[in-house]
Amino acid sequence: MVLTGTQNEFELVKPVFFIGFMGSGKTSVTRHLSEHHGFDSIDADDYLVQQEGRSIADIFEADGESHFRDLETRYLRELAQGSPKLVSCGGGVVTRPENVHIMRDSGFVVYLHTTAEESSARIPDSSTRPLFKDLNNARDLLAQREPSYIEAADVQIDTVGRSVPDIAAETLGALRGAGVVTAR
Ligand code: S3P
């Protein structure tokens, strides 16, 4: 399920991990960068679901969050290896310090910042996200995680009120500026 870019305009020097709260646009932005600029990209949750053969909601329900987090770490380690790609991570990836080490040791970390209000508006159907309940819960969870997102990130991009192409353009500029992306 790796999206393979076709334009080969740029080259990735190392993997780039996109972190941020549910609904911050990680998947849309990585997909946009893949489709428009030729980067290989993958959604870490989709990869986990594909490998396990069941949905995230099913994993949470049958085995609990802690088991889901174990799987998340296992597959994150796999995605950090191999040819460099854009990796869109699940919103809770920073809850385990081990995951932050994996991302920072192997690649570059982009934090897509959003607010609980915006994220709630972007997630009209939360049935596939066991940890997204309502606006109040989103506010609490985001406040709890925000310091970890900031600490894990090499760069932070604000997404509030902005379009995916706009966010993707700023991200690409930041990646080029940091030398993580080079022109072919
Ligand atoms: C989670 C976010 C989800 C998914 C799982 C747990 C979280 O990913 O990994 O439901 O703890 O914030 P998205 O951020 O892609 O929705």
d(CA 35, CA 86): 12
Distance 22 CA to ligand 1 centre (A): 6
Does the Cβ of 20 fall within 6 Å of ligand 1?
no
Ligand 1 near 22 CB (within 6 A): yes
Q: Which residue is closest in CA terms to ligand 1's atom 10?
A: 129
The model's pTM: 0.95
Burial class (CB in 10 A: 0-12, 13-18, 19+), 83: exposed
- Ordered per-residue pLDDT tens for the chain, 184 residues: 566 555 677 899 999 999 999 999 999 999 999 999 999 999 999 999 999 999 999 999 999 999 999 999 999 999 999 899 999 999 999 999 999 999 999 999 999 999 999 998 888 777 788 888 888 999 999 999 999 999 999 999 999 999 999 999 999 999 999 999 998 8
CA atoms of 87 and 83, how far apart (whole Å): 12
For the chain, helix, strand, coil in percent to 5 are 55, 15, 30
Nearest-CA neighbor of 162 among 21, 28, 7?
Answer: 28
d(CA 96, ligand 1 centre) in Å: 13
Give the single-character DSSP code of 162: -
Of ligand 1's listed atoms, the one at least distance from the Cα of 24 is 14
